[in-house]
Chain A
Amino acid sequence: MISSKAGTEEKNDCIIELEALEKGEGIEIEIESPIKKQFGRHIKETILEILKERCISNVKVRVTDRKALDFSIRARLETAIDRLGGEQLEA
């Protein structure tokens, strides 16, 4: 299993864990957040936006959120994508 992780459990941060999936398996997103009710959809949309930008279509994303702001979610996801192998995944 190819996987990666970025982020911390500190306040205003989040941990993003990625697991590469087989071609055709699509995108799975799991979100754990104290503000999931209010912001779960927004977090998901942000994740999907970045995955689209990076042309990644087969991956499992687990978000452990500690009320991270947008800039932090985006940065953590980009880091996790790079750590997973970035360009190879995109192909």
Chain B
Amino acid sequence: MYVPGNNPNMMADCMIYGADVILFDLEDSVPLQEKDAARYLVEYALRYLDFSNTEVAIRINGMDTPYWEEDIEKIIPEKPDMIRLPKAETKEQIKRLDEEISKIEEKSGIKVGNTKIMVSIESAKGLKNAYDIATASIRLQAIAIGGEDFTADLGVKKTREGNELLVARGVLVLAAKAAKVDVIDSVFSDVNDEEGFRMETEKAKAMGFTGKSVINPRQIPIVHDVFKPTEEEIQEAIKITQVIEEAKKKGSGVISLNGKMVDKPIVEKAERVLELAKALGLVEKVAAC
């Protein structure tokens, strides 16, 4: 969930709504004359607020601006989980960002590599380079699409149906899957249109996205509801992990469940389902049924 980095009121309680990741923004939501203030607010928020198990990412300013270096200089020592780079266009940018983060980590006594990176692709050029970007650094965890900027770059209007972003979303998902990183869908700006938001989230899931950015706490339960595995999927995943364990004990090479062979992709899918179910607190509930 995006939280403007210059709004202490929203920052103070943003962690109570159940978002998987809090994304403090130093970029678009912060006016130029308030960049200095937002850096301090985010720095002290990281130091003083308790985010419990919620991951914290910071969206820094783009590398085409004079602000991003000061952003990471102030923020990295406070150990955020992730830095989100907007407007990523080339693998060289990611390598440079990685190097600069490493220097600050080293200087601050933080284990080099501790800070992860996610990027957002907001231009046709960035999309063309998406796989190279996604594999440019070991820190890279996820790629996302910035729908508003992307459609502006294409010179088209962003619509409720989102057909103008269909190709871009598809290409991004392919790049992310090939690079084995998460892929996060763009925000849906009309917070009052819950039906439109659910429709877009369902589409994103069906296309292979692993999450969706939100701008309002009201959108969080819908994302969780759409992305949560079904009870049947969880039961199946539990059974698969059980037969794997049994087969390991027996030293059996070929594993089957209900007459069907359980191979590597099925195991990986089961593991993903269980990971997600655990994160949403669904595993114990289903296992007890």
What residues of chain B lie closer than 8 Å to A23, measured between beta carbons? none
A71–B36 touching, CB < 8 Å:
no
Q: How far is the CA of A68 from the CA of B40 in the complex (A)?
A: 14
Q: Does B9 contact A (CB under 8 A)?
A: yes
Q: Does B206 contact A (CB under 8 A)?
A: no
A71–B37 touching, CB < 8 Å:
no
Q: Does A11 contact B (CB under 8 A)?
A: yes
> Would A12 and B40 be within 8 Å (CB), given that A70-B48, A71-B48 are in contact?
no
Q: Does B21 contact A (CB under 8 A)?
A: no
A71–B9 touching, CB < 8 Å:
no
Q: Does A69 contact B (CB under 8 A)?
A: yes
Interface SS of A by simple majority = helix
Q: Does A17 contact B (CB under 8 A)?
A: no
What residues of chain A lie closer than 8 Å to B220, measured between beta carbons? none
What residues of chain A lie closer than 8 Å to B49, measured between beta carbons? 69, 71
> Would A12 and B8 be within 8 Å (CB), given that A71-B47, A75-B44 are in contact?
yes
Q: Does A79 contact B (CB under 8 A)?
A: yes
Q: How far is the CA of A82 from the CA of B7 in the complex (A)?
A: 19
What residues of chain B lie closer than 8 Å to A68, measured between beta carbons? 8
What residues of chain A lie closer than 8 Å to B11, measured between beta carbons? 71-72
B48–A83 touching, CB < 8 Å:
no
Q: Does B215 contact A (CB under 8 A)?
A: no
A69–B8 touching, CB < 8 Å:
yes
> Would A79 and B40 be within 8 Å (CB), given that A10-B7, A10-B9, A69-B8 are in contact?
yes
Among B44, B45, B48, which residue has the most Cβ atoms of chain A within 10 A?
A: B44
Chain A nearest CB from B16 CB (Å) reads 14
Q: How far is the CA of A83 from the CA of B35 in the complex (A)?
A: 12
Counting contact residues on chain B (CB < 8 A from A), the size range is: 10 to 19
Q: Does B124 contact A (CB under 8 A)?
A: no
Please, what's the 1-or-0 string for B25-64, where 1 marks a CB less than 8 Å from any CB in chain A?
0000000000011001101110111000000000000000
Q: How far is the CA of A6 from the CA of B41 in the complex (A)?
A: 11
What residues of chain B lie closer than 8 Å to A74, measured between beta carbons? 40, 44, 48
What residues of chain B lie closer than 8 Å to A69, measured between beta carbons? 8, 12, 48-49
A78–B9 touching, CB < 8 Å:
no
A76–B37 touching, CB < 8 Å:
yes
A12–B12 touching, CB < 8 Å:
yes
Q: Please provide the chain A residues from 32 to 74 with a CB less than 8 Å away from any CB of chain B in the complex.
A: 68-72, 74
What residues of chain B lie closer than 8 Å to A13, measured between beta carbons? 8-9
Closest to B40 in A: A75
What residues of chain A lie closer than 8 Å to B36, measured between beta carbons? 79, 82-83
Please, what's the 1-or-0 string for B1-31, where 1 marks a CB less than 8 Å from any CB in chain A?
0000001110110000000000000000000
Please, what's the 1-or-0 string for A1-28, where 1 marks a CB less than 8 Å from any CB in chain B?
0000011001111000000000000000
> What are 23 contact pairs spanning A and B, CB under 8 A?
A6-B37, A10-B8, A10-B9, A12-B8, A12-B9, A12-B12, A13-B8, A70-B48, A71-B12, A71-B45, A71-B47, A71-B48, A72-B8, A72-B12, A74-B40, A74-B44, A75-B8, A75-B40, A76-B40, A78-B44, A79-B37, A79-B40, A83-B36
Given contacts A12-B12, A75-B41, A75-B45, 15 further A-B contacts (CB under 8 A): A10-B7, A10-B8, A12-B9, A13-B9, A70-B44, A71-B44, A71-B48, A71-B49, A72-B44, A74-B44, A74-B48, A75-B37, A75-B44, A76-B40, A78-B40
